Amino acid sequence: MNAPVPGRLIAPLPLLSLGVSIAIAAGLPFADLRTAAGAESMVLYSVHCALPLFLVAFVASSLVRLWPSRVTRWLLRNRRAFGLAFALGMAWHLAFVAYFMSRFNKHLNGLALGMDVAGLIFLIALTVTSYRNVRQRMPARSWLLLHRAGVYAIWFLATWIYLLSMRYSPDLTHVAALVILLSALGIRALSRRYAGKARTASHAART
């Protein structure tokens, strides 16, 4: 008999938030923040730690549509918790970016700065509108469009970061992250195609 997947664990958000914070903090003893290289390593490492949380939120609904099960339905029910924990992980990342830029007088070029600012704006907007009292004040279509645009913008920004990382310092971690990001996009595309075929079949059955 398969063990049931609990629908209500002990508040997933605190557990996920604690988990990503511990994972990021665990990298600090191995990074010399007195050097630019050490600070930059934490900038990337914090993204590594936060990325899995985003990916779960990014594909949760698609996984349920393609492979419905207790596990995928649990992931979908807790998508908001994964998204908010990802936002916390990115807050760590932005703190390291700010430290790196101020401590070592580093500056981003115009394109990188623009992309980071756009990503930050979307991240803040998605985080704020994830709370029920804010969501209820928004038209449903506006909320849906914001979150759809936001997750794709963050996906694009993460993909761009790993593409640049592979250009300057390629390693298996960056390759794996890029493959997973592209696979996640493929899962969403496959889910949309499946949903389109289901709607077509349903319409044909009614006519």
CA angle, 64 then 65 then 68, to 5°: 45
What count of other Cβ atoms lies within 10 Å of the Cβ of residue 206? 6
**pLDDT for residue 6:** 43
Please check whether residue 3 lies inside any domain of the structure.
no
Q: Could you tell me if 60 and 147 are in contact, meaning their C-beta atoms sit under 8 angstroms apart?
A: no
Q: Could you tell me if 191 and 66 are in contact, meaning their C-beta atoms sit under 8 angstroms apart?
A: yes
Nearest-angstrom CA–CA distance, 203 and 45: 48
Q: Give the end-to-end CA distance of the chain in Å, rounded to a whole number.
A: 43
Nearest-angstrom CA–CA distance, 116 and 104: 19
**136: three-class secondary structure by DSSP:** coil
**pLDDT for residue 161:** 85
**pLDDT for residue 197:** 65
Nearest-angstrom CA–CA distance, 139 and 145: 10
Please check whether residue 26 lies inside any domain of the structure.
yes
Q: Tokens 């595309």 map to which residue? A: 189
**pLDDT for residue 100:** 93
Please check whether residue 2 lies inside any domain of the structure.
no
Query: Looking at the 3D structure of the chain, how many domains does it have?
Result: 1
Please check whether residue 7 lies inside any domain of the structure.
no
Provide the residue-wise pLDDT of the chain in tens; the chain has 207 residues: 344 444 444 459 999 999 999 999 999 999 999 999 999 999 989 999 999 999 999 999 999 999 999 999 999 999 999 999 999 999 999 999 999 999 999 887 777 778 888 889 999 999 999 999 999 999 999 999 999 999 999 999 999 988 888 877 778 888 999 999 999 999 999 999 987 666 655 545 555
CATH assignment of the domain containing 118:
1.20.120
Which residue from 127, 137, 122, 123 is spatially nearest to 81, judged by alpha carbons?
Answer: 127
Please check whether residue 4 lies inside any domain of the structure.
no
Nearest-angstrom CA–CA distance, 60 and 14: 19
- Domain range enclosing 46: 12-206
Please check whether residue 171 lies inside any domain of the structure.
yes
Task: Report pTM.
Answer: 0.87
**pLDDT for residue 130:** 93
**pLDDT for residue 83:** 96
**144: three-class secondary structure by DSSP:** helix
Enumerate the H helices of the chain as residue ranges.
12-25, 36-66, 70-77, 79-103, 110-128, 132-135, 140-168, 172-206
